[in-house]
Amino acid sequence: MGKPTGFMEIEREESFERDPIERINDWNEYSAPFTDDEMKRQGARCMDCGTPFCHIGMDIDGATSGCPVYNLIPEWNDLVYKGKWKEALDRLLKTNNFPEFTGRVCPAPCEGSCTVAINDPAVAIKNIEQAIIDKGFENGWITPRIPDHRTGKKIAIVGSGPAGLAAADQLNQAGHKVTVYERADRAGGLLTYGIPNMKLDKDVVERRVQLLRDEGVEFILNTEVGKDISADEIKSSYDSVILCTGAQKHRDLPIEGRDGKGIRFAMDYLTRATESLLDDKVQAEEELDAKGKDVIVIGGGDTGADCIATALRQGANSIVQFGKHPQLPIKRTEDNMWPAYPQVFSLEYAHKEAKYKFGEDIRQYSIQTKKFVTDENGKLKELHTVEMKKTRDENGMFVFEEIPGTEKVWPAQLVLIAIGFEGAEQPVLKAFDVHVERNRVDAKYGDFQTNIDHVFAAGDARRGQSLIVWAINEGREVAHQVDQYLMGETALPTVANM
């Protein structure tokens, strides 16, 4: 620790964000990095704790606390403070294959369990992480790492999201021939088509994908396994197969009027918006264009926020976001103690933009949608809601009760359902005949083997909807297991022997 009193002398600074009124007129990233001097000051706030909880990587009260890829956070914070950026990059890449992704889109559970955060704002870990990797690319420190030997083993990975990419990176460096199958026209999974460009520039994703290509990973795009190529052909052509298909089975809202035109899943909306941005020949479907419409987003998570930011840029007439739960408290409550993830009120980038645009916070809390109403042509024209009260029943379980007299009608021509995912889509899993439980591949963490010989599973397809850092964790861990399976031994790291 270079500055023992740094956390007492230096305040947390937030990264610079472009003016909301300016940035909603383009699709560029909304934030800009700190200067080197600002980063050094922020790195100096790290306490170098005796037990650094920032990388405990565990679930507490159903939420992730600390970093699941076990980043060596105090080490690279100290190196940044000392101006040793190259050494900081080396430390960062020991545990995280893609800091340029996590530094932009991870919700930073590491900061929630930062020891400084017991009494003061946490160390700006996420911003420092992004600064390190961005400087690595800017200075040409990151170049293709060509394996010096090849094992002759061939591995197929189905899905090119963060879990698939992490597994591909690790196994390629171990000397295996890795082929990644992706049904979309670009690699990256939700990194490409699920997260808007203003949050994660697609050039950043393509830069990493191209680096993996340069290192020897093959990507076969526009190919849906089980449809364009059979699972049997994949299994017979490769020594091992890893299913990293994600968890994209949408959770629906089956209420009256659901089949009306203009009621769509959030991920379909975000995907089409990005497709239109990346390819001028792709026209946004009229039903999925928010221009001039009253838009309602049902669901209060990150995906819902991304829908808000996208609708703003498309020129929505109005936007409202519905949340099932009450507004979160400003500060931690007694039942949300450190180092658990802080369940506190915050304004995401999209909410800041909407507040500037419409003059108020557009979120509505403790509200339930009762039905959709369409016009004579089947087009959505309004939805009906009622306010809810959250209480505990006689068993101590939370229940929601309608509040009589709080019914309301909202004009709407576009509703985006962003209430999460139920698990993995089933067709490809059925094609491989793997056991499935609760819409997830039945494969034990740490082993990752399915019931089918030489077929493994990792990421959201195995664990369900989760964070990007868990996807990278599982990609690295399954790579260790596959290498061990194929070679009888492995030098690839695991969490236990990092």
pLDDT in tens, 397-427: 888 999 999 999 999 999 999 999 999 999 9
pLDDT (0 to 100) of residue 3: 84
Assign 367 to helix, strand or coil.
strand
For residue 428, give Cα distances in angstroms to 226, 246, 457, 466, 478. Answer: 6, 11, 12, 20, 19
pLDDT (0 to 100) of residue 497: 53
Tens-digit pLDDT string for the chain (498 aa): 678 888 989 999 988 899 998 999 999 999 988 889 999 999 999 987 888 999 899 999 889 999 999 999 999 999 999 999 999 999 999 999 999 999 999 999 999 999 999 999 999 999 999 999 999 999 999 999 999 999 999 999 999 999 999 999 999 999 999 999 999 999 999 999 999 999 999 999 999 999 999 999 999 999 999 999 999 999 999 999 999 999 999 999 999 999 999 999 999 999 999 999 999 877 768 899 999 999 999 998 899 999 999 999 999 999 999 999 999 999 999 989 999 999 999 989 999 999 999 999 999 999 999 999 999 999 999 999 999 998 888 887 888 999 999 999 999 999 999 999 999 999 999 999 999 999 999 999 999 999 999 999 999 999 999 999 999 999 999 999 999 999 999 999 987 554
User: What is the spatial distance between Cα 71 and Cα 76, in angstroms, rounded to a whole number?
Assistant: 9
Residues 6+ apart with CB under 8 A from 81: 2, 3, 6, 40, 43, 44, 46
Torsions phi, psi for 67 (to 5 deg): -90, 120
Q: What angle do CA 166, 172, 173 make, to 5 degrees?
A: 95
Q: How many CB atoms neighbour CB 260 within 10 A?
A: 19
User: What is the spatial distance between Cα 72 and Cα 321, in angstroms, rounded to a whole number?
Assistant: 37
User: What is the spatial distance between Cα 356 and Cα 386, in angstroms, rounded to a whole number?
Assistant: 27
pLDDT (0 to 100) of residue 394: 82
The model's pTM is 0.95
Which alpha helices (DSSP H) does 28-98 contain, by range?
A: 36-43, 73-81, 85-93
Residues 6+ apart with CB under 8 A from 55: 66, 67, 70, 71, 72, 73, 110
pLDDT (0 to 100) of residue 310: 98
Both tokens of residue 384?
């009906």
User: What is the spatial distance between Cα 254 and Cα 495, in angstroms, rounded to a whole number?
Assistant: 41
Residues pairing with 158 in the sheet: 181, 243
Assign 402 to helix, strand or coil.
strand
User: What is the spatial distance between Cα 202 and Cα 198, in angstroms, rounded to a whole number?
Assistant: 9
Indicate if the alpha-carbon torsion angle 398, 399, 400, 401 is positive or negative: negative
Q: How many CB atoms neighbour CB 498 within 10 A?
A: 11
Domains and CATH numbers, the chain: 6-138 (1.10.1060.10), 154-248+422-497 (3.50.50.60), 252-419 (3.50.50.60)
User: What is the spatial distance between Cα 333 and Cα 355, in angstroms, rounded to a whole number?
Assistant: 26
- Alpha-carbon Rg for the chain, nearest whole angstrom, is 23
Assign 364 to helix, strand or coil.
strand
- Neighbouring C-alpha atoms within 13 Å toward the C-beta of 464: 8
Torsions phi, psi for 295 (to 5 deg): -110, 135
pLDDT (0 to 100) of residue 496: 53
